[in-house]
Amino acid sequence: MPLWTCSQCGAQFPDAPAPPRHCVVCEDERQYVNWKGQHFLSRDELAERHQVIWREDDGLTGLGMEPSFAIGQRALLIPEPDGCVMWDCIPLATEAAISHVRALGGLKAIAISHPHYYGAVADWSAAFGNVPAYLHGDDAAFVTRPHPSIMPWSGDRLAISDDVVLLRTGGHFPGATILHWRKGVDGKGALFTGDIAMVAMDRRHVSFMYSYPNYIPLGPAAVRRIAETVAPLAFDRIYGAWWQKNIASDAKGAFDRSVTRYLAAIA
């Protein structure tokens, strides 16, 4: 029986003879159902039409899909001595991409900012011996393909290592999570924000939305909570959720200026 993937958002569903009738991610008010109706691809169909590609993105290896698929995010590999942490995920894992990641030291864990990027997390974990996939438990209702490797963590902080820490900020989703890599950028630190803090097109600011496609901004209390979580962290770079959507340097100042600007704009 095939596994099914939502062609609008990239969420993967369990194997079944027929595709699901609904996608809980698309039907949520933060996303939208395809104007032509809900549509799913089997994993084989997806692999026939799309490749997983990898390339360098501001000093890290990223993984994405070509042609672009669904939301179009790319995942990033954070190298640690005992294997890479995959940050965010994509809707497909191919043998070629898995081999490449293996050559880079393999995966020791996967961490994902929020349900829009869960993608094929179970496939990626299984390819590396069921490494833990840390998805915040407050968003468990959006896990479309339950899997034993998914670790629904709770609270506001989870240290994967001394240098790689997950911080739940809330905002876009109740369990929305960012990642801080203390050793990143030659020890200056790097912050991985997914679209919890969205890198703007000028790549000198971030912004905040409850729903990007449906234009629902995030309120001041939620933005202040994100800012309070980020305040103690040292970092020079912010990695956003798409290729080259990063703030390459002075990202700490850029983040603080962005919070001030955003709160003034919605006041």
Binding site for Zn ion (CB under 5 A): 6, 8-9, 11, 23, 25-26, 116, 195
Local structure of 255: helix, strand or coil: helix
DSSP state of 144: S
Please report how close the Cβ of residue 114 comes to Zn ion at its closest, in angstroms: 6
Please report how close the Cβ of residue 116 comes to Zn ion at its closest, in angstroms: 4
Q: How far apart, in whole angstroms, are the C-alpha atoms of residue 52 and residue 31?
A: 24
Please report how close the Cβ of residue 129 comes to Zn ion at its closest, in angstroms: 28
When the beta carbons of 101 and 150 are compared against Zn ion, the nearer one is 150
Please report how close the Cβ of residue 102 comes to Zn ion at its closest, in angstroms: 29
Q: How far apart, in whole angstroms, are the C-alpha atoms of residue 98 and residue 101?
A: 5
When the beta carbons of 23 and 89 are compared against Zn ion, the nearer one is 23
When the beta carbons of 32 and 54 are compared against Zn ion, the nearer one is 32
Q: How far apart, in whole angstroms, are the C-alpha atoms of residue 129 and residue 20?
A: 28
Closest CA to 42 of 15, 65, 22: 15
Please report how close the Cβ of residue 23 comes to Zn ion at its closest, in angstroms: 3
